[in-house]
Structure 1
Amino acid sequence: MSSSPKDPDRSILQPYDEPDQDDFRSIDPESGVKRGLKTRHLSMMALAGIIGPGLLVGSGSALSGGGPASLLIGFGVIGIIAFSIMQSLGELTTLYPSGGAFTQLAARFVDPAFGVAVGWNYFIIWFTVLANEYNATSSILVFWSDKVPIWGYFLILWTAFLLFQLLGVSTFGEAEFWLALIKLLGLVAFYLFSIVYVSGGISGADAIGFRYWHDPGPFADGFRGVAKVFVFCSTFYAGVESVAVAATETKNPGVAVPHAIRQVFWRIIFIYMGAAFFFGLTCPANADQLVNGTSRALLSPMTVAIQNAGWQGGVHLINAFVLITCISAINSSIYIASRTLLYMAQQGMAPSFLGWTDKRGVPIPAITMANAFGAISMMNVSTGAAKAYGYIVNLSGVSTFLVWGSISLTHIRFRQAWEAQGYQVKDLPYISLWYPWNAYFGLGANMFLALVQGWSYFSPWDAGGFVDAYILLPLFFVIYIGYKLAYKTKLWKNEEIDLQSGRRRDLDEDKEITEAEIGGSQPWWRQLLKNF
């Protein structure tokens, strides 16, 4: 598996002087998926993808458990960590837009057993997120009409999303583009409403200003509340790394991935920090709708705010907006979970039948299996939507920190091998900011949060909550050690790490090469619209 260059001074990118026609096929020859996502699809996924019940509905549980200051701190700290992770991921994925993303790269740059543990933890994140999204969507529909039981709504949704996913990645990308745009416009509208509301611009409503920061106060439960919010925020942020999973199915990853990575900064500032600020400003942490854990319905802080402002009919408008975001989030979750299964199966990390794709590049078995895990959401039939949401979030929180930490470690190992094999940093198509400090910060911060995210269950001692919060931490090491012992894998030495495979050129580059050979050029308007 050695890939040491014949000439240490030769750039790793120079072999692309002679194009490989496999790079320009619409169906990826390695994974069998279709390269159908446009640059604007990936950019919008990075900016507003996977924004659903986690942010808009789950923020209510985080706000009631920690208070507005804890919510702002949680979003801010996790946002800094997410930015660090995306810098590492941008450098890796731009160079290696191959199937399996960081799961495959973890196996190549660290240890095959490590890649297996990362892959299965990443799948756990997404089937739990998917279950939460089905939970929230079913609960909203029950809120509007309880004539259909909650399990009936789930079956209708499950079938509809399965059929839609089978239409192919191009249809998925186009739907996500427009749904994400609606989410952005909806959030802008709520931010404007919040400014008018708190400043007294709504007739019949008081100018509340920062009232809820004084009563009930900025912190609901001290540091325990802050620690609790970290778990929720990690789930809200889960998905920013999904651009790496989608890179294989992107037409032009060399252009799209760096652009998408840059979009994440604005996602953190505008969407996450903006939502945390305005939710805490307009919704009291002790609102009955948020703390009523026995309810079958989940209410967003947006819903509570608009009710308190005196517009009762606006509840349905907010719920419609939340429903749209949930539809988008379910769609994205099935996509990410199914591709994770697909690539793991193709690398021998999961049952082989999950690695099959049809001639259109659609992984039918992986999509069906991933969607089936959404049935976990049916625990809300007996426990209530709010409690079910809390259980599932706790289950997935530690996995997010483990996967993010593994991305930082993979990046560190890649850079060590890159230098050991004689390559130069300036030859990388995308160079992460502040290496190595940024990568080591991401690794250390995620290790710390993985250990403290269950802090609130220590005092008073809650055995059930402790198990729920930490059960996946030892599971990671069980998978790692078990696979390592079974298949006798080893940690790769820097000189053994494969730095060659998994790279390809953009599909549209084939057209550019042809035009250059015949001396042609594109008009300015075509250059402007080529990403659309």
Structure 2
Amino acid sequence: MSTTGFGPSDPRSSTDPSDPPGPDKNDSSSDDFGLMDPESGVKRGLKTRHLSMMALAGIIGPGLLIGSGGALANGGPASLLIGFGVIGIIAFSIMQSLGELTTLYPSGGAFTALGDRFVDKAFGVAIGWNYFIIWFAVLANEYNALCSIFVFWSDAIPLWGYFLIFWFAFTAFQLLGVASFGEAEFWLALMKLVGLVAFFIFSIVYAAGGIKGQETPLGFRYWHDPGAFNGNGFRGVATVFVFCSTFYAGVESVAVAATETKNPRVAVPLAIRQVFWRILFIYLGSAFFFGLTCPANAPELVTAHAKALQSPMTIAIQNAGWEGGVHLINAFICVTCISACNASIYIGSRTLLFMGQDGKAPKILGWTDKRGVPIPAILFTNMCGALSMMNISTGAGKAYGYIVNLSGVSTFLVWGSIAFIHIRFRKAWAVQGMSEADLPFKSMFYPWNAYFGLAANILLVFVQGWTNLAPFDAAGFVDAYILLPLFVVIYLGYKWWNKTKFWRPHEVDLLSGRRRDVDEDREAARGGIDTKQQPWWKRLGKNF
């Protein structure tokens, strides 16, 4: 069951906010300090450093390293940088809204439950299923890339054989529990950061002419030939938006993980702030250096027979004179694939878990074992990864294109919904006489950032399929826009069938669903240590 209430009649809304904040083990609020979430049954096993690294470099898979090649070929280096920059601004805006909401209500279901609470349960259902579409599409793409890499190394085992091997391996690992997932994602994310830093350093040396045997510095040669926009103008920029939204998908996943975090009041705001550095360093940095060192008209970007050869990183290293660099990039992409598959199964399964517990999905998907592991949701999510086998019949390139469009449009729909939920929350907060000073995390530039996030995502939902209109491409048009009517059908169908209520601001439950940190109990027992008064190196250490 979700921890959220749906109106003032909810008995949990009777909690007196004037009650003392200290832990009372004889009171039901003592569940706030337990390692098992009493509502969802999941274990609070993620540490602050786990969530921080997830926000900084988690969920980054081969889409960034490989998919950027397709975006670069379609739009050119300037389009790639513009696309990453614009989507980055939107992502930052959405994360500010999500940070304010999730820090106050770190409940199961994340923004799907928040949609129930502040808008309408039917709205939460539509968001939840669209969010799941993102992750089964992303998971299929990561399986596609991972299996293709191993086929490139050795085709002794067919593509479907590699898929089965990895399917069972990831299933077994996910069943170990959330603590194992968090620890693995921490170290895999750290390896991704090290790999990107190494490539950035190589790019600077290469552009400056520091490679042995290089006659002239590379400089910004590829911005002049084949050109900053690769001759495609705005059409190229519009195409890049879809790719970039797919790469950014996952920055909002900290909200899904909040329920399984020990100290959400500390971890969630810190993770939200890390997203700024993720946008600046990883996305904009990658876009800049990919466009700097790889020509947009490189034929390998669209015709390569192996996944790694489609990466701008591989082309740059080979152009610099190291033909064997493909194997190094393959290994690096393999690490990102493992991380992305791991994270996609986690996020998709938790989305199904909370929907199953709240009547938005089959009830069996909401079951957890005594260790807090949602076994049915994990198995169902991972089975959706079989969509990656589309590339056996359609070709890897076409399969990747179909999947990118689905996950990209879903990202815009979910992000726009988060901004709308935030606006509705603030309206209810003001109408019910609550003070902004009581918010544990305040969104920057409210209300401008929330309205900007809503308007920008609505615009991008319609713009992203623009290239299919002239000349008209029926298959591409359907792929680009099919999720729009699906969102409306899910919302109206669930609302009609279940007679759900669209909440007015004064009816919204603002009190239930809040939670204190697990470690607050320990701090209270030691006299309530104020970490703000500690030296900075001790405060930093608490994050790890």
TM bucket normalised to smaller? over 0.9
Instruction: Tell me the equivalent position of 1:373.
Output: 384
Instruction: Tell me the equivalent position of 1:274.
Output: 285
Instruction: Tell me the equivalent position of 1:441.
Output: 452
Instruction: Tell me the equivalent position of 2:112.
Output: 103
Instruction: Tell me the equivalent position of 2:101.
Output: 92
Instruction: Tell me the equivalent position of 2:220.
Output: 210
1:143 corresponds to which of 142, 148, 152: 152
Residues 1:143 and 1:518: Cα distance change in structure 2 (over 3 Å): closer
Percent identity (aligned)? 74
Give a deviation string over 1:408-447, Cα, whole Å, max 9, x none: 0000000000111111001000000011111000000000
Inter-partner Cα distance in structure 1 for 2:31 and 2:455: 39
Structure 1 contact 24–510 (Cα < 8 Å) conserved? yes
Structure 1 contact 294–386 (Cα < 8 Å) conserved? no
Instruction: Tell me the equivalent position of 2:196.
Output: 187
Number of equivalenced pairs: 526
Instruction: Tell me the equivalent position of 1:158.
Output: 167
Structure 1 contact 96–504 (Cα < 8 Å) conserved? yes
Matches within 5 A, 1:421-436: 421-436=432-447
Q: Which amino acid aligns with 2:171?
A: L
Inter-partner Cα distance in structure 2 for 1:13 and 1:453: 49
Structure 2 contact 294–313 (Cα < 8 Å) conserved? yes
Structure 1 contact 96–502 (Cα < 8 Å) conserved? yes
In the TM superposition, residue 65 of structure 1 has moved relative to its aligned partner by 1.1
Inter-partner Cα distance in structure 2 for 1:50 and 1:306: 25
| SS of corresponding position for 2:227 | coil
Structure 2 contact 115–124 (Cα < 8 Å) conserved? yes
Question: Unaligned 5+ residue runs, structure 1?
Answer: none
In the TM superposition, residue 17 of structure 1 has moved relative to its aligned partner by 4.9
In the TM superposition, residue 13 of structure 1 has moved relative to its aligned partner by 7.5
Q: Which amino acid aligns with 1:427?
A: D
| SS of corresponding position for 2:519 | helix
2:421 corresponds to which of 405, 410, 414: 410
CA RMSD of aligned residues (A): 2.0
- Say yes or no: does 1:254 pair with 2:259: no
Give a deviation string over 1:462-484, Cα, whole Å, max 9, x none: 11111111111110001001001
Inter-partner Cα distance in structure 2 for 1:298 and 1:136: 12
Inter-partner Cα distance in structure 1 for 2:338 and 2:490: 33
Residues 1:296 and 1:246: Cα distance change in structure 2 (over 3 Å): closer
Range that drifts further, 297-306 or 141-150: 297-306
Range that drifts further, 287-296 or 395-404: 287-296
Structure 1 contact 294–383 (Cα < 8 Å) conserved? no
TM-score by length of 2: 0.93
1:494 corresponds to which of 493, 505, 512: 505
| SS of corresponding position for 2:506 | coil
In the TM superposition, residue 204 of structure 1 has moved relative to its aligned partner by 2.0
In the TM superposition, residue 54 of structure 1 has moved relative to its aligned partner by 1.3
| SS of corresponding position for 2:505 | coil
Q: Which amino acid aligns with 1:267?
A: R
Q: Which amino acid aligns with 1:107?
A: D
1:507 corresponds to which of 501, 507, 518: 518
Give a deviation string over 1:8-67, Cα, whole Å, max 9, x none: xx9957563565210011010000000000000000000000111111111111111111
Question: Unaligned 5+ residue runs, structure 2?
Answer: 1-5
In the TM superposition, residue 299 of structure 1 has moved relative to its aligned partner by 2.4
Residues 1:523 and 1:278: Cα distance change in structure 2 (over 3 Å): closer
| SS of corresponding position for 1:507 | coil
- Say yes or no: does 1:482 pair with 2:487: no
Range that drifts further, 206-215 or 381-390: 381-390
Residues 1:367 and 1:15: Cα distance change in structure 2 (over 3 Å): farther
Q: Which amino acid aligns with 1:460?
A: P
Residues 1:155 and 1:493: Cα distance change in structure 2 (over 3 Å): same
1:315 corresponds to which of 326, 332, 335: 326
Residues 1:12 and 1:398: Cα distance change in structure 2 (over 3 Å): farther
Q: Which amino acid aligns with 2:376?
A: P
